[in-house]
């Protein structure tokens, strides 16, 4: 998954694909559980969706702007708009369903 681009909002607004943003931290156990699932989804859906990670310890202001109070928090954007939020580690099937619904 690519690192956070210089302009987070530009990525969201200009993306021609849905964007999944993973708010996480290194010390977060559930974040470590979901990380390989997101990596696999990024590979499997690379032509259909963008997946980016935001480390809440390095980007606290960005996390605050989206009211992220628990991690992992996954935000799903389509056409520049927030359309879905998922809090906590969930199975691959649940995330894949959300992605397919966005496509």
Active site residues: 28, 31
Please report how many Cα atoms fall inside a 13 Å half-sphere around the Cα of residue 98, on the Cβ side: 22
- How far apart are alpha carbons 51 and 16 in whole angstroms? 13
- How far apart are alpha carbons 40 and 21 in whole angstroms? 15
- Could you tell me if 78 and 102 are in contact, meaning their C-beta atoms sit under 8 angstroms apart? yes
Phi/psi for 88 (5° steps) reads 95, 165
């Amino acid at each position: 998954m690519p690192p956070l681009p210089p302009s987070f909002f530009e990525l969201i607004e200009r993306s021609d694909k849905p964007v999944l943003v993973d708010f996480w931290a290194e010390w977060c156990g559930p974040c470590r559980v979901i990380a390989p699932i997101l990596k696999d989804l990024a590979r499997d859906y690379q032509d259909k969706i963008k997946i980016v990670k935001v480390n809440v310890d390095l980007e606290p202001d960005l996390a605050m702007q989206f009211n992220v109070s628990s991690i992992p928090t996954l935000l799903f954007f389509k056409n520049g708009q927030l359309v879905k939020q998922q809090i906590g580690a969930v199975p691959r099937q649940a995330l894949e369903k959300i992605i397919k619904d966005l496509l």
